[in-house]
Structure 1
C-alpha cells in the first residue's frame, strides 16, 4: 500500500507531530493509529511530507494530489527500488507523476537495518512480530536484502537517472534540524500567592519540618534541608516538587493511602513534605542519589497509591492540570538475553526444552550473549 512519511523540521513541528499521533492513538485500539488526511492537514505546519507509493497508478496520483494540496512545496513523492521486474519503468512513471503534480520527487531506500549483515536479524524480528517460524514466514519478510543504509556513491549509482531526486533528499535532510536534545521538562508553574515556586517550596518545607519535629528541627536536619533546597533551586526543580506535593496532599485529604518510594527516600525535603517516610535524623541519607548537579538528570519521585482508589487521584490530576497536559506513561518492554533466546528459539523451531536449556545459561539482566561452548554442550 501507500505510506505517508512526515518529518518535523523544528521543535514546534515535532510538537504538532506528537499531538497528531496522540489523536490517532486515542481513536484506535491498542497498537493502532487512526488518522486521515484532514487530521494531517490540521498539523501540517513545519512538517515535510513524503508519499511512498507501491504502484504508479491512478490511486497514487489521487493521493499525491491531496498531499500536494496540504503541504505545497513541502510535498514529495518517494522513488524506491523494489527489486522486481519493471522497476526502471515504475520509477520513470512515478517521477513523471510527481512533475505533473508539481511535487518534488525524492529518493529513499526505506531502510530497515543499518548494514547487510543485519538482514537475518530483521527476518527474525519479522517472525516474532508475525508469530511464525522462519520456515513458514514466506513473503511476510522482505524479498531482498537491499533495505540497509547505503553510502552516497551507491545511491547515486542506483538512481543514476534520478540525480535531481537524490539531491532533493539531501536538501530535506539539511532542513530537518530538530534534535531530541532540544526537549526539556516543562513543569507546571505552581505559582502561589505571587511567590515563586522556590519560595513556595521553602515555605512548605519549613512548615512541614515544624510538623515532623514538634520539639524543634535538629541542626543536622536543618542543614540537610538547606542543602537540598539550594540544589533544587539551582536545578530549577521546585515546580516538580510542588506538583508531587499537591497530588500527595489531595490523596491524603481523601484518606487515600499513598507512599513515596525509590531514590526520593533520600530526600529530607520529601520527608518533611510528607511524600516519603524515611526520617533523615535516623538514617544516613544521600540526596545526590536522588538529585545531582553533576549527573544533571531530572528527579523521579515514585508514589504508590492504593489500587482501588487510584482512579480518583488520576481524575483529580486531569481536572487540576488539564487533560491536554496529562499523559499515561507506558512501560516499554525491551529484549533481554534470556527472553531473546526464548523468542529466537521459537522462530527457529527449536524444541521447547532446548530453548529453555539455552536461556538458562544467561542471567536475565545480563548483557552477555550465550557462549558457543554452552550451546555445544547442550548438543
Structure 2
C-alpha cells in the first residue's frame, strides 16, 4: 500500500496566492486518507494554530512549516534594484524547539529582513536550525534557481552548506513534477544528479495551492487579482489553466507520478515520522507586573483597588463591599491579578498624559474592580451591570478588556507598554480582511476582461452585510 505525505501546501493564508481554506484543506486530506499533512504558507505562520487544531480534530498529524524567502545577499541588504529578488526554502518543525526556532526566523524576517518580502539569510538559519527539517523548495528554490542559471557549482556549494546547517537526515532536495512547467524539466535531472553526487536524499512534493483539479480556474483568477493582470494577458508567468496541476493529489497519483523515484515518495513518510510537534494550547500565561514594596500581586491589587474605591464612592456601603469581595475572590482564584494590574498601569499612564481613553466598552464595564482601578469610567451599580458577563466563575474563558484610545495618540500608549514590559513581550494581534461578495464580483469581472459597468451592476444587486456578518455570494443567491 502506498504511503505518502504532502509536505508543501499553501492555504489562503498565503495571501492572494493560496485558494485552500485551512479547514477544507484538512478535510480533503482526510478524504484522501492522509495520516499527516504540512502547512507551508509563504513567509508566515498565520494559519498554523488553526491548522494544528483542525488536524488534531481530524486525527491527522499536523506538521507546522513555512516556505521562507531567502535573500540573495544578507537579509539586512536592501539596495534598490539589487536586493528585490529572493529564493525559497521549506522549513518544517520536528518538535517544540523547532517550532520556537521557526517562530524566531519568521519574526526576524518581518522585523529585520523585510524588503518587498519578509526575508531571511543563511546566518539566521544557522543560528536557529535546531529542531527543523529543510527542503529545497520549488523551481525558485535556493538550490534549483542556480541550477536553472547553469551555476551548478553554486547549487552544489549551497547544498553542502544547508546539509551542514541542518545535519544528516534533516536536509532534502525537493523534486516536483507539474505539467507544462519548463523550468522543472531542466531542474529535475540536475537535482537527481546532485542528490547522487552528494548523497543528499530526494523528497517528492506537489506545490499545492488548491484542493481539486477543477479549482485551477479559481486559482488563476486569484493570481490575476494579486498581480493586477487579466486572464487575457498572455504574458503571465504561469497559467494554472494550462497547468492545472497544483492541487492536492492522492497518494496513488503521487506514487504514479514519481514511479521512477520511489525513494522520494518514501522519504515523505520518513519526514512525517520525524515531525512530532505538540503545542501546549489552552494555557494562559499572564504578563508580569513588577509589584512594589515586596507585596504579592494579590495584596497590591487589593491595596490599589481599595484606594480607587474610596475615590469612586463617597460611602462604601455593605452592598458595594460585598460586590467587591465577590469579584476579587473570582479574580484571585483564577489568578488574573497580574492582568488587572498591567491594564490599570497603562490605562492610568494614558490618562495622566492627557490621552483620551474610552469610558468602557464591552463586558469589562460590569466590573467594580475595573471601575475602582480607573480602567473604566462606568459605575456598574448605577447601570445595574452584571459582573458575570465579564468574568464568569463557571467558564474557563479569560477576561477581555476592550479599550479605546485617541487615534492620534494610540502609538504613544503602545510605545509605553513596549518600553515598560519589554519589546520581546509585546505583540499586536493581526486582523485579516477578506474580499467580500461585492468586491469579489467586481475583481473577477475585471480579471475576465469585462467592462467595469457590468460587474459593478451585478455587485450592487448583492445585499450588504451587517456588523460582524459579511455577506457571501452563496447567501446572496
Q: Taking structure 2 as the reference length, what is the TM-score of the superposition?
A: 0.70
What does residue 51 of structure 1 align with? 136
What does residue 473 of structure 2 align with? 369
- In structure 1, distance between residues paired with 2:131 and 2:354: 48
Q: CA deviation at 1:112?
A: 0.6
Q: CA deviation at 1:102?
A: 3.4
Question: Which range moves more in the overlay, 287-296 or 345-354?
Answer: 287-296
- 8 Å Cα contact 1:106/1:168 also seen in 2: yes
For residues 127-206 of structure 1, the aligned pairs below 5 Å read: 127-136=224-233, 138-142=236-240, 143-178=242-277, 182=281, 184-192=283-291, 193-206=293-306
What does residue 119 of structure 1 align with? 216
- In structure 1, distance between residues paired with 2:317 and 2:115: 51
- In structure 2, distance between residues paired with 1:355 and 1:293: 52
Write out per-residue CA displacement over residues 287-315 of structure 1, whole angstroms, 9 at most, x where no aligned residue. 34333466644433232223443343333
1:212 aligns with 2:309: no
Q: CA deviation at 1:213?
A: 1.3
- In structure 1, distance between residues paired with 2:303 and 2:189: 71
Write out per-residue CA displacement over residues 251-284 of structure 1, whole angstroms, 9 at most, x where no aligned residue. 2232332234233223332222111122111113
Count of matched residue pairs: 372
- In structure 1, distance between residues paired with 2:344 and 2:368: 13
Q: CA deviation at 1:88?
A: 7.4
| Secondary structure of the corresponding residue to residue 380 of structure 2 | coil
What does residue 356 of structure 1 align with? 456
Task: Check 1:18–1:92 CA distance in 2 against 1; reply closer, same or farther (3 A cut).
Answer: same
Q: CA deviation at 1:23?
A: 1.5
Write out per-residue CA displacement over residues 41-93 of structure 1, whole angstroms, 9 at most, x where no aligned residue. 11111111111252455143232122112111211111111324696785454
| Secondary structure of the corresponding residue to residue 305 of structure 1 | coil
- In structure 2, distance between residues paired with 1:108 and 1:296: 41
Match among 80, 91, 97 for residue 176 of structure 2: 80
Task: Check 1:89–1:140 CA distance in 2 against 1; reply closer, same or farther (3 A cut).
Answer: closer
Task: Check 1:117–1:18 CA distance in 2 against 1; reply closer, same or farther (3 A cut).
Answer: same
What does residue 60 of structure 1 align with? 155
- 8 Å Cα contact 2:178/2:246 also seen in 1: no
| Secondary structure of the corresponding residue to residue 174 of structure 1 | helix
Q: CA deviation at 1:180?
A: 5.5
- In structure 1, distance between residues paired with 2:394 and 2:255: 46
Q: Which runs of 5+ in 1 are unaligned?
A: 375-379
Match among 328, 335, 351 for residue 435 of structure 2: 335
Q: Which runs of 5+ in 2 are unaligned?
A: 1-85
What does residue 402 of structure 2 align with? 302
Q: CA deviation at 1:370?
A: 5.2
Q: Taking structure 1 as the reference length, what is the TM-score of the superposition?
A: 0.86
Task: Check 1:66–1:209 CA distance in 2 against 1; reply closer, same or farther (3 A cut).
Answer: same
- 8 Å Cα contact 1:362/1:368 also seen in 2: no
Q: CA deviation at 1:111?
A: 0.8
- 8 Å Cα contact 1:265/1:278 also seen in 2: yes
1:95 aligns with 2:192: yes
- In structure 2, distance between residues paired with 1:238 and 1:175: 41
- In structure 2, distance between residues paired with 1:264 and 1:292: 12
1:41 aligns with 2:136: no
Q: CA deviation at 1:248?
A: 1.1
| Secondary structure of the corresponding residue to residue 182 of structure 1 | coil
Match among 438, 444, 450 for residue 344 of structure 1: 444
What does residue 274 of structure 1 align with? 374
Task: Check 1:133–1:104 CA distance in 2 against 1; reply closer, same or farther (3 A cut).
Answer: same
Task: Check 1:82–1:154 CA distance in 2 against 1; reply closer, same or farther (3 A cut).
Answer: closer
| Secondary structure of the corresponding residue to residue 161 of structure 1 | coil
- 8 Å Cα contact 1:189/1:197 also seen in 2: no
- In structure 2, distance between residues paired with 1:14 and 1:240: 27
Question: Which range moves more in the overlay, 67-76 or 315-324?
Answer: 315-324
- In structure 1, distance between residues paired with 2:457 and 2:475: 13
Question: Which range moves more in the overlay, 267-276 or 343-352?
Answer: 343-352
Q: CA deviation at 1:346?
A: 2.2
Task: Check 1:355–1:225 CA distance in 2 against 1; reply closer, same or farther (3 A cut).
Answer: farther
- 8 Å Cα contact 1:362/1:370 also seen in 2: no
Q: CA deviation at 1:185?
A: 4.5
